[in-house]
Structure 1
Amino acid sequence: MKALRRQSLATAIQLSLLLALPGVAAAQDAPPSSDATTLDRVEVTGTRIKKAEIENQVPIQTLSREDIERTGLTSIADVLQEITGSGSSLNTKFNSSGNFGFPPDGSGVGAGSATVDLRHLGSKRVLVLVDGIRWVNEASASGVSSSTDLNTIPLAIVERIEVLEDGASSLYGSDAIAGVVNIITRRRFDGFQITGNWGQYEKGDGDTYGIDIGYGGSTDRADWFVGASYIKQDEIFSKDREQSRLPVPGTGLANGSSATPTGRFVFTDPATGRTYSITPNNGASDPTYLSGQPLCPTTRTDDYHCFTTADRFNFAEYNMVLTPSERTGLFGQFRFDINDRISWYAKALYNRRESTNQAAPEPLFFGPGGATGNAFADNILISASNPYNPFGFDLDSADNLVLVGRRPVEGGPRIFEQQVDTWYFGTGFEGTFDVGERAWFWDVNGAISKNEAEQDNFGSYNIRNVNIALGPLAGCQAEPGCVPLNIFGGPGTITPDMLNWIRPVVHDESENKLHLFTANLSGDLVEAWAGPISFATGYEYRKYEGSYRPDPLTVAGFYNGVPSGPTDGDYDVNEVYVELNIPLMGESPIGKKIDLSLAGRYSDYSTFSGEFTPKVGLRWQLVDELLFRSTYAEGFRAPSIGELYGTFSRFDATITDPCQISTTGSPPTGNPANCAALGVPTGSEQANPQISVITGGNQNLTPETSKSFSMGFVWTPTFLENTSAAERVDIEGTFYRHEIEDAIQAPDAQTQLDRCVATLDPFFCDGITRAVTGDINRFVNTLDNLGTIKTDGWDFDVFWTFPESQVGKFKLSWQNTWVGRYEARDEGGNLEPRAPGVEVSDSGIPDWTSNAALDWKYGNWMASWTVRYISELRELCGVAARDFSVCSAPERGPIDADGIPLGENRLPSTTYHDVQVGYTFPWMKGLQLIVGANNVFGKEPPICLSCSLNGYDASTYDVPGGGFYYVRADLKF
């Protein structure tokens, strides 16, 4: 197989060289011309051919530095997540540690990171470049990610951002399925610049501070730029916002946890044979009882009462809606002209991110009803000899114990502190040479980059030591340092000595490395009937290395939190590509020009056989003011290190078991006969809304493959140009379509369970096992090449520059995206729940998103007004929420087993208004003062029932709600 790959690679290299031979032969036959034509070198994202005429071949959205500064944001990811073609992805509004869990792709939770998603296809399907060179993938000390953390790139060094929302694997290789983000850094700068900014939410919290310093200069043969950046963002706690104070807004404690500070105890009394679900009275003299409460068949006259929804624990108030983050960056680049034809450059970057996530005090679950997947918890003996056991008999998982849930608030909240260091160094040569009367461009580049992350976890527990401290007293006394543990007495009964035995500091590490070498050649090959045939060809080598090293306590299986195994892997790839631009027709009755573009890339991976990806495009300049363009491309995404080599980990998903009485007391919705066949006893109650799902990588994964198609136009109506109505107008429209086959994913856990109960099909049920109580005690959900994803839609943009008048100059930009279709199907052809207009799994796909920005300049004054629109979304309420007022359309939604609609929650359309005003003083080279407000009218985000934390969709809406006000001062000298 390796020999075959080497042969294929050699053939591809020979092909790229042969395409260049005609020009080389011309150079040998003809002496160099003293007046050879030197073309302007124009770099365009979406093509490797460096030529001005190639612009507008593919749809590119360019965010200038002015566009970026207008947002008032301090993160590249936050800027990109506001464009209309963006989908849901991580940012600092995701409080993503704690029992948020590990995604099945082995990437970890990405705590503190910020990524970009295009076309709702996922951040791992977006390729991020910096100055046309791949950037290293993120590290967040929880896995080996296949996405790029944009918080590793300081916004201060950015000159502009170019976004290609089209498939581009033939030009850039793997990962460019949904598109490419190319971040262009500041290169030429003369003098010093210092920028300071401060912002705060209208409630007086979430302060953001920043300072950027830049210095640049040039000589006849050299230019340089160095910069430093510091950003600090303060936290906002969930308890400080009305909407996020409860686990699910509007549903009270229905989705609260059964692990409480007083403790919940579900067991069978060996003396009576009765099963109880009880909790301490916590000082109440009158025992409470709800008639018909499952697992509590009688009132009690002791210090306990039957556990009810009112006893559940509100974990939400310990969370954050905005996580603290501190980022420090240093960047520099130097460019030197060796002679008129050859230049050398070098650039380097160091960036540190320090961030924190916080979760509620860690729960302790014991017994089969806890379903943690940890043997020390699921198979526990809480001995009668434990001096704090009030029942006088053993609570044994193998006999009479169903569930114990105790939340040691004495140990405080779980705090996760990340430190992420990014290093980058790149260098290379570029130049030109003449081939006859044609100038050819070449460059060779090398880069080394690395992300290293460490995470310290305070407030978790050693479940082995907990097991020993609850077991036979003699066993605890035999262990040095062991102190018997009291989980029965309520808050304050776990002493500092007890905590010292069970509470460690957990330390995790991860890293991603990328070594890269590229060589490119571009120019005109020959003069054809309608103009020169241009080409680009090149070679690229990349080596990826990634590892995740969880704490030894976690590896040994002693960690009470979300467990995971270590990951370690590497692979390399050799690639060659060829791109041609062929003029098919010059000026004629059917138009001014038609160009055909062809591209192909062969990728040889060490982890699987080679892959060839072609692309074809057509550009038709009908008249000077009207251009039509279309592209078809095939692409692929190679499985990442985490997806291939990620070992056992766990995700705690919020799932409603159709076979059990829900946590709110609602009856089961599943087929009774099927539930009985699955081993669920009649009357079985789901003890906990979170079910542990085991995830992991798969070394047998093959690449995802894709097909992309786009067709559109660019119209610059000349009848409006330089008139009283407009100085210039540009109108662009694009239809896009993406299809992904063999998508690397795991089935949606809730969907898999529902289909298992409905069909008993082993395809869905394999990997789901239950305890004798009926509770799910194992749920395996690992990666595979599952099914397909298809999406299509339209982009429509208008850019209108008004003529200057006595009141200044105005410029309007209006950008829109409509998603016509989004379908994801599993291997069995079943439709997954994501769709346009639907909110599910912490993300929504709005049917229509629109941004309109009006800029104004008058003398030294400037101002802008931006309107951002998100169309309505909807989500199923489910049995836990259907009886609450937030289910605005209870007559809608699927029907349960009793014929009752589950209801539907509507997230209404949302419009945000941002304003900014600035003035430039003529001091030194200019002092600019800017004040602005985002979400100036304080619009609150819609309530989301299915979102994991805080009741918000943190990447679709402005979170935490309310206006954000800021000031910025920019001084140049």
Structure 2
Amino acid sequence: MGRFGHALRSGAGVLALVIGSAAAAQSNLPPPEAAETPSSTASEPTSGGEIVVTGSRIRRDPLSQEQPITFVDQEDIAKTGLNSVNDVLQRLPSAGGGLNGKFNNSGNFGNPPDGGGVGAGAAEIDLRYLGSKRTLVLVDGLRFVNASSASGVPGSVDLNAIPESMIERVEVLQDGASAIYGSDAIAGVVNIITKTRQKGLIASAQLGGYDDGDGFSQNYQLSWGNGGDGATQIVVGGNYVKQSPISSRDRAISRFPNPFLTTCDDPAGGCSSGTLNGRVIVFPSVDPREDITLINALPPGVTPTPADYRAFTNADRFNFAPYNFILTPLERMGAFANVKQELGADLNLRAKLVWNRRKSKNQAAPLPLFVGPDAGNGNLLDRISIDSTNQFNPFGVTLESGFNLDGTPNGNTANYAFIGRRVVEGGPRRYNQTVKTLYGTATLDGKFGLMGREWFWDVNGLYGRNKAKQTVLGNINAANLALALGPDADCTGACVPFNIFGGAGSITQEMLDFVSFTQRDRSQQKLWGFSANVSGSIATLPGGDLGIALGYEHRDYKGRFDPDPTVAAGLGSDIPALPTRGGYNVDEFYGEVNAPLLADRPFFELLELNGAARYSDYSRSGSTATFKGGINWKPVSDLRLRGSYSEGFRAPTIGELFGTPSRFDQELNDPCSADQNPTGQIATNCATLGVPVGYQQNNPQLSVLTSGNENLKPEKSKGWNFGAVYSPGFLPRFSIEANYYNIKIKDAIFAAAGDILARCVATLDPIACAAVTRTATGQIAQISGILDNVNGINTEGLDLNIAYRTAPASWGTLGLTLNNTFLFNYDVIVPTADGTAKISREGTEQGSPDQAFPKHKAIGIIDWAGQNVGLTLTGRYIKSVRESQADNKLNSRFYTDVQLRFTAPAFADNFGFALGVNNLFDKDPPGCVTCGLNNYDPGTYDVPGRYLYARATVKM
């Protein structure tokens, strides 16, 4: 880069670190358009300017924030250059990640233990590291339908289903709100406010890509409104987004299964036993060498002999990493319409319709075909015996599993443990999803006078449906494979004997045609609901009007997942799954009150109390009541102090309740494996568990049995939030805000296989060890990961936000923001035979499933706006973490983004052009040994590479 480039990089980095850095110009004060576009469908501002802001249904001054809310509007999103609102929200310091386009999970890992499936191609938001299911997503104050990705029944919203062109702004409430909105709002609420008024046409086109020459993206947004001045107000629009993939082979960090590998012949391991030339583990009675592989691949039709084999070494393992995506391809097309019709002076009819289609893809290495007792498939592949008369069997004896295909003992003694063969002849496994979303709402609202006071009412109906289809190429029918590996005499008709022993290239197309099949999966979720609300004031207190809100809500959820019939029959060679179907409904009543006790008095510029209560009756989870109370005090006009106590509630999702048994191939290190160098008490405990000396874990991925549980109870939480906002009168347009949060969840729904395995080996805890099944050779055949209300979560931290903007001048304005989140504590409480144990997550990387818990994240912006030009410099800081399952530190990262903008108001009313670079200094993510794929945490760090983009915008 040279001396100038080095100085530029250092100077910009120091400046951004000192002043702050942010993903967007997010603010803790509402943008000016908040008064025109309130956060509830039926929330027109009154003459006094009061509106409904996220976190309450009572109208108030939008500047009177008694709760910690972050606002991200259209301009903020545009300044990031990102193609999804989800990616913008995941950069908030309070966000813990969630699914996004950097997750390539499909057949690589199977179905995580939450019943929701892998969520391939979906985008989610997670606040406070509590999981996306504990963050409620609303659209104009109403619930949105949950996701579908044809792999399960998720309990979270897919933000990819919401067209960006319809978004006016996003309000993020960083406080529990179950008493206001019901289930799921334990960590907070994301309320997407849509455009209800727009004059004319707004169109934008953005093109981008990585300087490595890949990851090309297109983003086209269009919206039009009739001005919104008459009785009929219309806003319509659409968008088209296309993201091209980045192959894992094209980034150094992801070319091998371990970030620090350059070869599979490394004690660190990570490469697969599903090798090109096969790995065969037999008992000495078959071959005294026991663990062997072919010396060289043999031509098709040639049967190997024992002389063609040699001892297996790590160098023979298969590097599956280059076949994956480090950024998955995606194509989204969406449209929306927002209509308001005034039916009278105090009566309005509103309707919203959203349609979206997503096409996404994932890719994995060619199928690792594992058979034998140690294979860990959980189906008949583990019970296959390879007959001595099979023309490709090189050993002259039947390789016995000891079982019939139906699982019953066959009376014979097992003489082999494992055969692994990478079916490269079939090409990579390819997963193609198509997801269609339809969502509509209708609202009738108005106001009336009662006892000299204004009251507002609204009645809402909503319907949402998500339908997903997935096609999978590269799977094998286990029943056909068993027939093709059995006696040649039984392989007749269409059957073709299968050569699992011949090495790469020995499987012919005829063999593949008989054993392979195209997998077709489907899933669907539906939501319909009805709600009615009324709000107003009933008395005047010394500080203002005593406001109340009352309401009723009914919701009905249905969901289903239908895997391919071959997979459902237990005959797939990839991830097993069974059909899932279920539903539930809920009736809720709520009440809310806001009591301004004092105002405009010494030491009591304002003092108000607020409270809310909600009663929920679930058809599957019983009934519960939640409460929230808070205080908002301004001792002087420059200082606001606030605090709240909230009770949270999360009902189990359809997937958690009704999810059928499946498998999660989780990347876990067995502490008893020789490559982990077990010593001392660990070595002693491994011997007690029956693990032989010198045992080596076959594969980095261990089979975890996943399943829902109809006996699950709802999660419950208690949260405390205390904050202060200081806006000094002597420094206009400056504010500093601090918010402390403390959340405790009990009966948390969990299935933590990694913690179970570690606790079993470290302490021989009988509860943990009962969930771990080992074979006679010491290999882990399965870890039980069935969901239960077994854990607790305690977390606390501090948000610290600073904002300042200069007064308008001839040179423009300069804005500075700094948003920080400090994670003080994050404890997972797990059961043991003696009671409970505490796992501290703060400052660690959990590993598969990937989740970092940095103690500090910072995000801010330096934004200069001139008359017709603007410049934005952003940076993002993530403090270092250490892997909890490996001795590896993920060093801190500081990303820098820059954007230059030009406008030409005289052309087409308003023409804008922007050029930007994200990750200006090409910072790679830190390497992670235990992360699930591509050797880094995709929910925390950027894709390696410098992203460049250009955008043009026209307003007419």
Q: TM-score, normalising length from structure 2?
A: 0.90
For 2:350, the equivalent position in structure 1 comes to 345
Aligned residue in 1 for 2:871: 863
The answer as to 2:326 corresponding to 1:321 is yes
Give the Å deviation of 1:715.
Answer: 1.3
Which residues of 2 match residues 433-448 of structure 1 at below 5 A? 433-448=448-463
Report if the CA contact (8 A) 2:122-2:159 is conserved: yes
1:778 aligns with 2:782: yes
Partner of 2:254: 244
Per-residue displacement from partner, 1:803-840 (whole Å, max 9, x unpaired)? 23343211111111111111011133222353234453
Counterpart for residue 170 of structure 2: 161
Report the counterpart of residue 431 of structure 1 in structure 2. Answer: 446
Alignment pair present for 1:223 and 2:233: yes
Counterpart of 1:308? 313
Q: Kindly provide the amino acid, as one letter, of the partner of residue 386 in structure 1.
A: N
What code does the residue aligned with 2:393 have?
Answer: N
Contact map agreement 1:383 1:470 (CA 8 A) in 2? yes
**Partner of residue 685, structure 1:** 696
CA distance, structure 2, for counterparts of residue 580 and residue 929 of structure 1: 47
CA–CA distance in 1 between the matches of 2:396 and 2:235?
75
Q: Give the aligned residue type for 1:939.
A: K
User: How big is the alpha-carbon RMSD for the aligned residues of Structure 1 and Structure 2?
Assistant: 1.7
Maintained 8 Å contact 1:210/1:230? yes
Establish whether residue 805 from structure 1 lines up as the match of residue 805 from structure 2. Answer: no
Residue 909, structure 1, aligned to residue 887, structure 2: no
**CA deviation profile, 1:527-549 (whole Å, cap 9, x unmatched):** 23433211011000000001011
| Superposed displacement of residue 366, structure 1 | 1.2
Identity across the alignment (%): 45
Q: 1:850 aligns with which of 852, 855, 858?
A: 858
CA offset digits 1:840-886 (Å, max 9, x no partner): 331101111111201111111111111111111111564xxxxxxxx
Question: Is 1:197 aligned to residue 206 of structure 2?
Answer: yes
CA contact (8 A) 1:99 1:651 kept: no
- Which deviates further from its counterpart, 798-807 or 307-316? 798-807
Q: CA deviation at 1:668?
A: 7.0
Task: Give the aligned partner of residue 727 of structure 2.
Answer: 716
* Equivalent position SS for 2:344: coil
Instruction: Please state whether the residue corresponding to 1:466 is helix, strand or coil.
Output: helix
Give the 3-state SS of the residue equivalent to 1:753 in structure 2: helix
Alpha-carbon distance in 1 for matches of 2:111, 2:499: 31
Q: Mind listing any 5+ residue stretches in structure 2 that lack a counterpart?
A: 1-45, 299-304, 403-413
What is the CA–CA distance in structure 2 between the aligned matches of 1:677 and 1:617, rounded to whole Å? 55
For 1:700, which of 694, 711, 722 is the aligned residue?
Answer: 711
Distance 1:924 1:377, change over 3 A: same
State the 1:774 CA deviation. 2.2
The alpha carbon displacement at 1:654 in A equals 1.8
CA distance in 1, matches of 2:89, 2:895: 16
What CA distance in whole angstroms lies between the structure 1 residues aligned with 2:149 and 2:157? 11
Deviations 1:594-633 (A, max 9, x none): 1000110000111132110000000001112211111110
Mapped to 2, the partners of 1:774 and 1:116 lie a distance apart of 40
Residue of structure 1 equivalent to 2:487: 472
Q: What secondary structure does 1:98 align onto? A: coil
- Which residue number corresponds to residue 232 of structure 1? 242
Counterpart of 2:363 in structure 1 is 358
Once the two structures are superposed, residues 235-284 of structure 1 have per-residue CA deviations (whole angstroms, 9 ceiling, x without a partner) of 00000111110001113422100111110011024367x35111111179
| Structure 2 CA distance for partners of 1:65 and 1:708, relative to 1, 3 Å | same
Aligned pair in 2 of structure 1 residues 202, 426: CA closer, same or farther (>3 Å)? same
| Equivalent residue number for residue 929 of structure 1 | 913
2:794 and 2:826 in contact (8 A); partners too: yes
Give per-residue Cα distances to partners, 1:745-775, cap 9 Å, x unaligned.
11x2222122223333321122322222222
Is 2:463–2:529's contact at 8 Å kept on the other side of the alignment?
A: yes
Within 2, Cα distance between the matches of 1:718 and 1:646?
57
Any idea what SS the aligned residue of 1:918 has?
A: strand
- Tell me by how many angstroms 1:777 deviates: 2.1
Question: Quick check: 1:452 aligned with 2:467?
Answer: yes
Q: Which residue of 1 aligns with 2:276?
A: 261
**Deviations 1:438-479 (Å, cap 9, x if unpaired)?**
1111111000001111100001111111111111112222xx
1:414 & 1:276 partners in 2: Cα distance? 30
**Change over 3 Å in CA distance of 1:95–1:309 after alignment to 2:** same
Separation in 1, partners of 2:723, 2:600: 21
Sort the Cα spacing of 1:700 and 1:161 in 2 relative to 1 into closer, same or farther, 3 A: same
AA partner of residue 856 (structure 2)? W
Partner residue of 2:296 out of 275, 282, 294: 282
Distance (Å, rounded) in 1 between the aligned partners of 2:889 and 2:701: 24
Shift of 1:54: 7.9
- Name the residue aligned to 2:580: 567
Whether the 8 Å CA contact 1:856–1:864 is kept in 2: the answer is yes
Q: Secondary structure at the match of 1:156?
A: helix
Compared with structure 1, are the counterparts of its residues 787 and 876 closer, same or farther at alpha carbon in structure 2 (3 Å cutoff)? closer
**When the two structures are superposed, what TM-score results if normalisation uses the length of structure 1?**
0.89
Is residue 388 of structure 2 the alignment partner of residue 380 of structure 1?
Answer: no
Matched with 1:3 is none
Query: Given the superposition, is the C-alpha separation of residues 551 and 78 from structure 1 closer, same or farther in structure 2, using an over 3 Å criterion?
Result: same
- Which residue, out of 484, 488, 497, partners 2:497? 484
Aligned length: 883
**Aligned residue for 2:190?**
181
**Do the aligned residues in 2 keep the contact of 1:592 with 1:623 (CA within 8 Å)?**
yes
Query: Contact 1:661/1:668 (CA < 8 Å) preserved in 2?
Result: no
Aligned to 1:412: 427
Cα separation, 1, equivalents of 2:315 and 2:240: 46
Separation of aligned partners in 2, 1:464 and 1:586? 77
Q: Given the alignment, which residue of 515, 522, 534 partners 2:528? A: 515
CA contact (8 A) 2:286 2:395 kept: no
What is the CA–CA distance in structure 2 between the aligned matches of 1:202 and 1:669, rounded to whole Å? 50
Query: Higher mean Cα deviation, 173-182 or 361-370?
Result: 361-370
User: Is residue 823 of structure 2 the alignment partner of residue 819 of structure 1?
Assistant: yes
Q: Is the 8 A contact 2:297 2:505 kept in 1?
A: no
Please name the residue that 1:956 is paired with.
940
CA contact (8 A) 2:179 2:613 kept: yes
Moved more, 524-533 or 363-372: 524-533
Cα distance in 1, alignment partners of residues 327 and 212 from structure 2: 13
Matched residues in 1 for 2:892 and 2:512: separation? 48
Cα deviation for residue 682 of structure 1 reads 3.4
CA pair 936-568 structure 1, distance change in 2 beyond 3 A: same
Question: Which of 835, 841, 851 is the matching residue for 2:842?
Answer: 835
* 8 Å CA contact retained: 2:603, 2:636: no
Give 1:965 deviation, angstroms: 0.4
Q: AA paired with 1:908? A: N
Q: Structure 1: how far apart are the matches of 2:940 and 2:90?
A: 8
- Confirm whether residue 336 of structure 1 aligns to residue 341 of structure 2: yes
Kindly indicate whether the alpha-carbon contact (under 8 Å) linking 2:548 and 2:594 is maintained by their aligned counterparts in 1: yes
Q: Which residue of 2 aligns with 1:403?
A: 418
Unpaired runs of 5+ residues, structure 1, are 1-36, 285-299, 722-727, 879-903
Q: Aligned partners of 2:486, 2:830: CA distance in 1, in Å?
A: 45
Please give the per-residue CA displacement for 1:395-445, whole angstroms capped at 9, x wherever unaligned: 112221111000110000000000000001110111111112211111110
Q: Which residue of 2 aligns with 1:586?
A: 599
Give the letter for the 2:344 counterpart.
Answer: N
d(CA) in 1 for partners of 2:665, 2:231: 59
8 Å CA contact 2:541, 2:598 repeated in 1: no
